[in-house]
Amino acid sequence: MGTIEDEIIECGGEVFGEEEMETLMHCVQCGKCTGGCPSGRITALRTRKLFRMAQMDMREEIFNAPELWFCTTCYTCYERCPKGVKCTDIIRVIRNLAAKEGHMSVPHRKIGVYALKTGHGVPITPEQMKIRESLGLDPQPPTTQKYKEQLEQFQTIFRETGFDALIDFDWDTMSLRETETKTETDTESESESKSKSEEGEKK
Ligand code: SF4
Ligand code: SF4
């Protein structure tokens, strides 16, 4: 196994190109990304810290960092970095690597459950269906949520690609396994992150 930088370049290079991933090493820790990060204002996410951890090959630390999952992929840092570091795409690749090793956050896994059950990360709710009906529309838009045979095809893709195993999805109960334990851990981490944020760690 190479360094985490090697893995970022190898894994992310397939999608974004190796050159783009190599910009990680151009980070000079100026902090502009962190200063403009909307998520970092209310969470412990410190974008430049993630990149420093990656540069220093702090594999376990970065894969276990709850804040890795607090990025909303808004691309503000990507636009503002004076060194051209492809911040958001690098974070997405680090997440993919972390997920492959079983470190995906519970909220992200739960979005996967919605997708597996309905074909949508954000399925339509009964309230929204009522609103559609009151407007004279079909309560269900023409999506996988309405057409079950399409949903089955979608679920086949998830099975074939192993996404169900990645989020530890149980087809019998149509939910996650071990959610409670992991949720508690996540909740603790989030509280810890919040208090760190309140301590004014932002630099
Ligand atoms: S703005 Fe760019 S160079 Fe500055 S800390 Fe962030 S990633 Fe590094
Ligand atoms: S893309 Fe993520 S890390 Fe960058 S500014 Fe937006 S929330 Fe912050």
Per-residue pLDDT tens over the stretch 89-142: 999 999 999 999 999 999 999 999 999 999 999 999 999 999 999 999 999 999
pTM beyond cutoff 0.85: no
Q: Could you report the per-residue pLDDT of 29-55, keeping only the tens digit for each?
A: 999 999 999 999 999 999 999 999 999
Number of domains in the chain: 2
Of 5-9, 27-31, 143-147, 179-183, which range is least confident? 179-183
Residue 23 Cβ < 6 Å to ligand 2: no
Last residue of a domain, one of 103, 136, 169: 103
pLDDT at 65 over 60: yes
Cα(50) to centroid(ligand 1), Å = 10
Residue 34 Cβ < 6 Å to ligand 2: no
199 located within any domain:
no
Query: What was the pLDDT predicted at 178?
Result: 72
Given its phi and psi angles, is residue 57 left (phi above 0), alpha (psi -120 to 50 degrees) or beta? Answer: left
Query: What was the pLDDT predicted at 1?
Result: 67
Are 96 and 13 in the same domain?
yes
Q: How far apart are CA 169 and CA 164, in angstroms?
A: 5
Q: Which domain holds residue 130?
A: 106-192
User: Pocket around ligand 1: residues whose beta carbon is below 6 Å from it?
Assistant: 27-33, 47-48, 51, 81, 83, 85, 87
Residue 3 near residue 11, CB atoms below 8 Å: no
Are 99 and 8 in the same domain?
yes
197 located within any domain:
no
Spatial neighbors of 49 by CB under 8 A, at least 6 apart, are 34
pLDDT at 188 over 90: no
Strand partners, 175: 170
Last residue of a domain, one of 103, 138, 155: 103
Are 110 and 186 in the same domain?
yes
Ligand 1 atom nearest the C-alpha of 32 is 1
Cα(188) to centroid(ligand 1), Å = 29
118 located within any domain:
yes
DSSP 123: P
Residue entry with tokens 């996540």: 186
Are 73 and 124 in the same domain?
no
